Amino acid sequence: MRLKYLILGAAFAGLVSVDALTTKADAQDSIYVPLLTYRTGPFANSGIPLANGMRDYLVMLNERDGGIGGVKLNIEECETGYDTKKGVECYESIKGKNPTVINPYSTGITLQLIPKAAVDKIPILSMAYGLSASAVGEKFPWIFNPPATYWDGLSMIFRYIGGKEGGLDKLKGKTIGFIFLESGYGREPLPLLNQFAKDYGFNVKEYSVAGKEMQDQSAQWLSVRRDRPDWMIMWGWGAMNPTAVKRAAENGYPMDHFVGIWWSGSDDDARGGGKEAKGYLSLNINGIGDNYPALKDIKKHVVDTGKSQVDKEKFAENLYNRGIYNSVLIAEAIRNAQKLSGKKVVAGPEVRRGLESLTISEARWKELGLSGFGAPITNVSCADHNGHHSAYMQQWDGAKWVKISDWIAPMKDKVRPLLEKDADDYVTKNAGWPKRTEPCDKSS
């Protein structure tokens, strides 16, 4: 009996030591890129294409280029189910593995991680989501949210609406409906919306959709029918989006006056509405379709070799491309970090510097095989962790998204002062918020 335990114990100890050695070897030879994703749960319809796009671009870099700067990327997914509690658990389980950057992929999770990032020295990249005020680098040195904040998104939507109405001053006396997921994410743009209502003299009607009501929404759309808003703006996610598009079509709401933020513009969101969804609008920050050399490389090195989880017919759909966009930001930040630190294997503190000097010019997008895929990223700096870059409007033609506008710049002059005030409020409310001690690199 004792011998049996002895053998089992020795085998266990052997396994542990081999595992420890392997982990150590991995840590020395690769760059650890954790991805918080959700392929399960009520929001999986939005989470799956994002996860596939993010992962496939990074895998392509490993397969085609041998990683970044000659160092392989160690990519690991952690399933959050879009659940804040699980997201924080994921963070706690990976923070000890020298992560380069955390992508929470949920505003709720981001809000929980913001106070932890500075303590653990791990940068958070909440790409075009999260706390808008975290764009203020002086107050949030470890949080980044390029290319645009939700408030920028709202201002771009208003630029578009203003263009259609013949000027923002023409909004006076009109009604703007705002339908949103009842969550931190959905409520994020409300302060700016109310400010715009004061500035331009329109009325706001809010339609809140609780998570449990995502697949019903009949009461909300009945209210829309009563209130007859001139324009509807949506901040939805997951199953809320296709249901809202469907209800709008059923209620005969003019689809070309219904605009979603960039997270309400996946192919599945519009497709669910059938032919009647034709005309639905959504902002977008990334290119659509597969007509980019980098996407052809992903197809060749990842999809066709069976290393991807994407369904072939869903390859290069909008949210898949959004995932690619996210991973381009990660990869470029890692490249910057290698350049700035002189190290090949980089971790959180170096990548924070890399993010703070993130630049992707038009020429660089082209070099990456993604010409015109995103607006040039030129404004991220020590003080500005967002950059307030442009997006464009796309429209559903009944079968696919079509780009219908040029790049629309946000109203930075309106957004930035409000962000700074909000950042100050955040710091005041969180007594003992640490002062920034991180130095700025010359390039940033």
Partner 1 sequence: MDILYKVLIDPFAQMVAAPDLLVQTLWEGLVGGMLYALIALGFVLIFKASGVFNFAQGIMVVFAALTLVGLHTAGLPAFAALALTIVVMFALAWSIERIVLRPLINQPDIILFMATFGLTYFLIGFGELIFGGDPKIMITEELYLPKGRINIPAFGGIVSLQKLDIAAAIIASAMVACLSVFFSKTRIGRALRAVADSHKAALSVGISLEQIWVIVWFAAGLVALVTGIMWGARSDVSFALDVIALKALPVLILGGFTSIPGAIVGGLIVGVGEKIAEFYWGPLIGGGTDSWFAFVIALVFLLFWPHGLFGEKIIERI
- What are the helix (H) ranges across 201-250? 218-227, 240-250
Distance from C-alpha of 423 to C-alpha of 138, rounded to nearest angstrom: 9
For partner 1, the closer CB: 169 or 311: 311
Nearest partner of 50 among 270, 400, 322, judged by Cα:
322
For partner 1, the closer CB: 216 or 424: 216
For partner 1, the closer CB: 317 or 422: 317
Percent of residues in the chain assigned helix, strand, coil, to nearest 5: 50, 15, 35
For partner 1, the closer CB: 186 or 410: 186
Nearest partner of 434 among 142, 27, 193, judged by Cα:
142
Compute the least distance from the CB of residue 182 to partner 1, in Å: 5
For partner 1, the closer CB: 251 or 430: 251
For partner 1, the closer CB: 68 or 181: 181
**401: Cβ contacts below 8 Å, ≥ 6 apart:** 265, 267, 270, 282, 284, 288, 318, 394, 395
Compute the least distance from the CB of residue 174 to partner 1, in Å: 18
Compute the least distance from the CB of residue 191 to partner 1, in Å: 14
For partner 1, the closer CB: 171 or 277: 277
User: What's the CA angle centered on 283, arms 382 and 84, to 5 degrees?
Assistant: 65
Compute the least distance from the CB of residue 334 to partner 1, in Å: 29
Compute the least distance from the CB of residue 231 to partner 1, in Å: 18
Compute the least distance from the CB of residue 396 to partner 1, in Å: 15
Q: 73 φ, ψ to 5°? A: -95, 130
Contacting residues toward partner 1, per CB under 8 A: 39-45, 47-48, 182, 205-216, 218-220, 222-223, 225-226, 238-239, 242-243, 246, 250-252, 268, 271-272, 311, 314
For partner 1, the closer CB: 39 or 364: 39
Compute the least distance from the CB of residue 192 to partner 1, in Å: 17
Compute the least distance from the CB of residue 277 to partner 1, in Å: 12
Measured between its terminal Cα atoms, the distance across the chain in Å is 66
> Which residue type does 90 have?
C
Pair of tokens at residue 376: 């040039």
- Residue 169 DSSP class: G
Residues 367-370: contacts with CB within 8 Å, 24+ apart?
A: 368/294, 368/328, 369/292, 369/293, 369/294, 369/295, 369/296, 369/297, 370/287, 370/292, 370/293, 370/294, 370/295, 370/324, 370/328
